Amino acid sequence: MRNTKSIIGKEKTNTSEVPFFDLRRQCEKLKVELEDAFRRVFEKGNFILGENVRLFEEEFASYSDTKFAIGVGSGTEALHLSLKACGVGPGDEVITVPNTAVPTVSAISFAGAMPVFVDITPDIHTIDVEKIEKKITKKTKVILPVHLYGHPAEMGQILKLARAHNLKVIEDSCQAHGAKYNGKDAGTIGDLGCFSFYPTKNLGAYGDGGMVVTSDGELYEKLVMLRNYGEVKKFTSKIEGFNSRLDEIQAAILRIKLRYLDEWNKRRGNIAELYQQLLKGSDIQLPHEREWAKHVYHLFVIKVNKRNALRHYLEEHGIGTQIHYPIPIHQQEAYKKLGYKEGDFPVSEKNAEEILSIPIYPELTTVEVETVARCIKEFHDG
Ligand SMILES: Cc1ncc(COP(=O)(O)O)c(C=O)c1O
């Protein structure tokens, strides 16, 4: 019997196994460039808000085809500070989904506001735009869609509703670097877009990091202050701020990695296509890509009836999997206080029982993809 615990979401333990992810493969490829970048940062001796942060902000804004980018401490902080920049606070409501990473919602509650949930669509796992309007009240300030797994939410409808009700739109693009909605970059469609550089993301740092993008000069100015003690200049705080800065070392790494993002996203797309071909015809719901979307496959999430048994079977065959996410936020102990009950969000709740994320990352080999698909088929076809 293998030590299955060690491979779920962890590093590769022997060559016949397929780890859920393996960050060492990418580090190895970039070693020379990264070492050179580290050396230059050390030689400069400037570790906070230096030239790498400034240049990475410019390069990320240009990559996303937007005006401004503000480097912050994490994706959670990108969301939290964006809400603060929009003036969100106690007594306000923010509409989002229960099928997301916890930080989407903790950013809202840390801003002092009330998260209000809308269920997701079963095919693309993003906010069900038909269900938003009846959740809008006088207290609603922001709609916060999540571009989950790398597929954008239906932004056209969301913007229409936001304009009609005078609401801001903050996009949680933490899983969607390079994704597009009708040709426009995810994160640049609403008022503010928030990115995470958590190491496993499509663009990941070697620690924590995040970014907010916007084309609104006023929001930009606010965010620059909010991330740095509210300062307009050293020791002069104009507003109440915080410390949430992207650091120089991470920015230097991210500047190198940004140059590879399109190539890596393309490889993710090719792996997704291969999975689609190999798993076609089995009784498994495969990821769907709407006609207006460019999916960047941060995760490849399948839906199956016997999810837990399949997961166990894959574990026994050395294949790492994860579940994104096993407990919808309204059912998490920390958020019981919001007062939702079982059955309030049936699509999210059913999803939590059926979804399974299988390995997808640019360094995954074709042989490994074939191994994963063969194993899934073996299980399904008995
Ligand atoms: C959808 C989503 N939102 C927010 C976050 C928070 O990002 P971070 O971990 O960088 O704080 C993440 C990352 O885990 C995420 O996947």
List Cβ neighbours of 272 (8 Å cut-off, separation of 6 or more): 287, 295, 297, 300, 360
pLDDT recorded at residue 282: 83
pLDDT in tens, 304-345: 999 999 999 999 999 999 999 999 999 999 999 999 999 999
Class of domain 260-380: alpha beta
Between the CA of 41 and the centroid of ligand 1 the distance, in Å, is 27
Between the CA of 173 and the centroid of ligand 1 the distance, in Å, is 9
CB of 102 closer than 8 Å to CB of 108:
no
pLDDT in tens, 276-312: 999 998 889 999 999 999 999 999 999 999 999 999 9
pLDDT in tens, 91-111: 999 999 999 999 999 999 999
Pocket test for ligand 1, best of 125, 144, 177, 196 (most atoms within 8 A of CB): 196
Quote the tokens at residue 375: 């194993």
Query: Atom of ligand 1 at shortest distance to CA of 147?
Result: 1
CA distances from 296 to 18, 107, 176, 220, 272 (A): 21, 24, 7, 27, 9
Domain at 29-258: CATH architecture:
3-Layer(aba) Sandwich (3.40)
Which residue ranges does the chain devote to CATH 3.90.1150.10?
A: 260-380
Which residue ranges does the chain devote to CATH 3.40.640.10?
A: 29-258
Residue type at position 380: H
pLDDT recorded at residue 14: 40
Whole-number mean pLDDT of the chain? 95
Q: Are strands 93-96 and 114-117 parallel, antiparallel or unpaired?
A: parallel
The pTM assigned to this predicted structure is 0.95
pLDDT in tens, 51-75: 999 999 999 999 999 999 999 999 9
Q: Is the peptide bond before 325 cis (omega within 30 degrees of 0)?
A: yes
- C-alpha 197/C-alpha 260 separation (Å) is 14
pLDDT higher than 90, residue 16: no
Percent of the chain residues past pLDDT 90, beyond the cut: 94
